[in-house]
Structure 1
Amino acid sequence: MSSAASPIRVVSPEADERIFVTQPHMAPLSEFIPYLEKIWDSKVLTNRGPFHRQLEDALCEYLGVEHLALFANGTLALVTALQALRITGEVITTPYSFVATAHSLLWNGIKPVFVDVDPNTLNLDPKKIEAAITPQTTAIMPVHCYGHPCDVEAIRQIADIYNLRVIYDAAHAFGVKTESGSLLRHGDLSVLSFHATKVFNTFEGGAIVCPDAKTKQRIDHLKNFGYVDELTVVAPGINGKMSEINAAFGLLQLQHVDEAIARRKRIDAMYRELLRDVQGIRCLDAAGETASNYAYFPILIESEYPMSRDALFELLRSHEVIARRYFYPLISDFPMYRGLPSASRDNLPVATEAALKVLCLPLYPALRDEQVERIAAIVAQAQ
């Protein structure tokens, strides 16, 4: 690995070799064909078929949780998690996330209340939560941003005092562990995304980690139109089921996910070494995880750096490196949210500043060492 102290020549890429911020990790196609053949033979495409059941069991074992309900995507899982706990009124959440976090609240007729984030983790700041609680507050929806754990104990204590539910948007947190075990065991529910861009993907997909069998049963009813049997409907559910093809692909992907995470860890270490001495570039540190998934590599562009975040974004793009400004704009800046009192930038100074500083560099298992070095060289040698 090259040292950040030694200048690296910036080599122009081939015309067709654009480097995107992420790329789906996919198991070999030849290994997927036998799964497809079984589906073609069985004619079972959906409605909790054999691969669906197998994947739920396999994920419970891999993730260290007891109950898990698969979904067609993570957004439907968020929407259903709120319904499963009968959340109403107001929910405290973060402005620094993908829009699906807050959209799931609006889909349920719930008012989002935005609270600022911690400057070191960019997760919801527990010190700001209590001041936002009103008689209408029923829950807290934090996000384990970039896969770094929220302060789960502080959030739990606040929720206990005020009798609030906690639903974690754990879209980034697949496989993340802390000293107490799986990060997904915290809160009343944790919601995962298996979108194509995630560390573990099923093409499209998601899941809700449930604390007990009774909660999982309610969620399974809600994701299948509320049906218990062909004569009994117990809730106004939605069609959120994962198909057999997605579940089969997930079973195959699970066989390769440790290898993919190991490669992500190598790339993360390379970036940190190569950018270690670059003035004005700050890398986010761990937030208490004992096992990380290295889902993203965000850097913060500080005032000491010779150009702005957006200028660096454009410089990288001119070299066919498509970084992303995750998360910019803030959710609270979008039209359907910016009229809320909690969406005021004066209420969200840390999140507002982070949205103007953060740039996520490309990170995916197929990214080659020389590509990582080239990206780091562009950042290090910017003028």
Structure 2
Amino acid sequence: MNAEPRSFEQPIYVTRPMLPELAVFTKHLEAIWESAVLSNGGPQHVELEKRLHAHLGEGHIALFNNGTNALMTAVRALDLSGEVITTPFTFAATPHVLAWHGIRPVFVDIEERSMTLDPARIEAAITERTTGILAVHVYGNPCDVEEIERIARKHHLKVLYDGAHAFGTKVNGRAIASYGDATMFSFHATKLFHTAEGGAVVTNDEALKRRMELLKNFGIADEVTVKAVGINSKMNEIQAALGLCLVDEIAAEKAKRFALAETYRHDLSGIPGITTSRRLDLETDSLQYYCLRIDRNLTGFSRDHVYNELKKFNVFARRYFYPLCSQYEPYREYADSRSDNLPVANRAGDQVLCLPFYGHLGTANAQQICAIIRHILTGRAEAHVHAA
């Protein structure tokens, strides 16, 4: 057995936010101070909305103070009610926005490879109370958008996508947000592109965009008219300024992440029981996360064992998404939350491990993480060499 690989001196986390040069951000702050406009659709907000079309498509973009409020506003603007079909394999915000509106989230199992909502399971879950489908592009893996659209048309359902991980993702040459009635994007600091906190909804429906703009500003139409029960979910100028500083850095960050993805794929492929991410594409994938699946029946070790052992080397991976949303206290008593109804999602929840994935990490550190993982699983730290 080879010597144990070295630990990192400083903690290595699953992500690290891009930050602009402070001098660049300061110039934007100076413009904000000069205008004395801090919110309510100021110049920074307007400019960021224009710039994002290059990355999110030519649909109508509404900016928000965070992704959860963006998704909540879209749910209200689409008049969803009753029951909405969704995935248990996602972040808590996805079912929460439904429950917050008094809507019953109905959990349907996921596909094995993409880990997105399985269209083959959707129709059996539709009842007379179903008004929509809330699907998630997990890790930026696109849902089967064409089949979901076919089912939705057949049953007269609205389709809302949680695209928190899918910034810049394309399907069949089309921006991911061109599918469905609307798509939410998160601009949280953990995301590829961020505004510290923030989000957006993109839709092809101009009337829906106007309704969301109304709802995110208390339902206020003008100085004396309130037309709807809205909330305050507007993106402020400082958030927008940070986004404007980072929007030109996206291509460089993605190139660095692509190199990391290739390193992980190369150095970890071939270990029995380890499934690496499919080969990612620089132009069409978001490169938001890089995930492994660890099958304990083949490796002899559980995902949780690897997760805990990595900490001893100062590497803090994440078990996205464990536990499943269907296992959370507000939802666990639902009949559709039973493990026998969600076998693929439960298996993924027990196997997935997201590795550190951000441009500043660098390929040398990614290689070191691979050596540590190989040591944990095989007792050998050397990188695995194989034909690319």
Q: TM-score, normalising length from structure 2?
A: 0.94
The answer for the alignment partner of 2:243 in structure 1 is 250
Matches within 5 A, 1:358-369: 358-369=352-363
Does 2:222 match 1:226?
no
The CA deviation string for residues 167-218 of structure 1, in whole angstroms up to 9 with x for no partner, is 0000000001122410111100000000000010000000000213221111
Indicate if the aligned counterparts of 2:56 and 2:202 stay in contact, CA closer than 8 A.
no
Percent identity over paired residues:
46
Q: Distance in 1 between matches of 2:300 and 2:22?
A: 45
Match of 1:376 among 335, 355, 370: 370
The answer for the alignment partner of 1:311 in structure 2 is 305
Matches within 5 A, 1:14-25: 14=9, 17-25=10-18
Q: Distance in 2 between matches of 1:61 and 1:46?
A: 24
The CA deviation string for residues 317-366 of structure 1, in whole angstroms up to 9 with x for no partner, is 11100000000000000000001111111100000011001111110111
Could you tell me how far 1:285 is from its partner in structure 2?
1.9
Counterpart code for 1:65: E
Match of 1:30 among 23, 33, 45: 23
The answer for the alignment partner of 2:91 in structure 1 is 98
Indicate if the aligned counterparts of 1:116 and 1:351 stay in contact, CA closer than 8 A.
yes
Q: Distance in 1 between matches of 2:4 and 2:168?
A: 36
Cα distance, 1:348–1:112 mapped onto 2, change above 3 Å:
same
The answer for the alignment partner of 1:331 in structure 2 is 325
Q: Distance in 2 between matches of 1:289 and 1:344?
A: 38
Counterpart code for 1:123: T
Indicate if the aligned counterparts of 2:167 and 2:185 stay in contact, CA closer than 8 A.
yes
Could you tell me how far 1:62 is from its partner in structure 2?
2.9
Q: 4+ residue stretches of structure 1 with deviation over 3 A? A: 286-290
Q: Distance in 2 between matches of 1:29 and 1:362?
A: 25
Indicate if the aligned counterparts of 2:290 and 2:357 stay in contact, CA closer than 8 A.
yes
The CA deviation string for residues 248-279 of structure 1, in whole angstroms up to 9 with x for no partner, is 11111101111111111110010000001212
Q: Distance in 1 between matches of 2:109 and 2:283?
A: 26
The answer for the alignment partner of 1:3 in structure 2 is none
Could you tell me which runs of 5 or more consecutive residues in structure 1 were left unpaired when the two chains were aligned: 1-6
The answer for the alignment partner of 1:210 in structure 2 is 203
Q: Distance in 1 between matches of 2:111 and 2:325?
A: 16
Does 2:270 match 1:266?
no
Match of 1:347 among 335, 341, 344: 341
Indicate if the aligned counterparts of 2:181 and 2:204 stay in contact, CA closer than 8 A.
yes
The answer for the alignment partner of 1:117 in structure 2 is 110
Could you tell me how far 1:368 is from its partner in structure 2?
2.1
Could you tell me how far 1:63 is from its partner in structure 2?
2.2
Match of 1:142, SS?
A: strand
The answer for the alignment partner of 2:5 in structure 1 is 10
Could you tell me how far 1:290 is from its partner in structure 2?
5.8
Q: Distance in 2 between matches of 1:49 and 1:79?
A: 23
Cα distance, 1:370–1:287 mapped onto 2, change above 3 Å:
closer
Indicate if the aligned counterparts of 1:13 and 1:320 stay in contact, CA closer than 8 A.
yes
Could you tell me how far 1:39 is from its partner in structure 2?
0.6
Counterpart code for 2:344: V
Indicate if the aligned counterparts of 1:167 and 1:190 stay in contact, CA closer than 8 A.
yes
Could you tell me how far 1:286 is from its partner in structure 2?
5.8
Indicate if the aligned counterparts of 1:179 and 1:290 stay in contact, CA closer than 8 A.
no
Cα distance, 1:290–1:61 mapped onto 2, change above 3 Å:
closer
Matched positions, count: 375
Match of 2:82 among 73, 89, 92: 89
The CA deviation string for residues 200-240 of structure 1, in whole angstroms up to 9 with x for no partner, is 00000000002132211111000000011110111100000
Does 2:273 match 1:280?
yes
The answer for the alignment partner of 2:385 in structure 1 is none
The answer for the alignment partner of 1:49 in structure 2 is 42
The CA deviation string for residues 78-105 of structure 1, in whole angstroms up to 9 with x for no partner, is 1000100111000000000000000000
The answer for the alignment partner of 1:198 in structure 2 is 191
The answer for the alignment partner of 1:4 in structure 2 is none
Indicate if the aligned counterparts of 1:332 and 1:338 stay in contact, CA closer than 8 A.
yes
Q: TM-score, normalising length from structure 1?
A: 0.95
Q: CA RMSD in A?
A: 1.5
Indicate if the aligned counterparts of 1:179 and 1:289 stay in contact, CA closer than 8 A.
no
The answer for the alignment partner of 1:321 in structure 2 is 315
* Deviates further, 120-129 or 300-309: 300-309
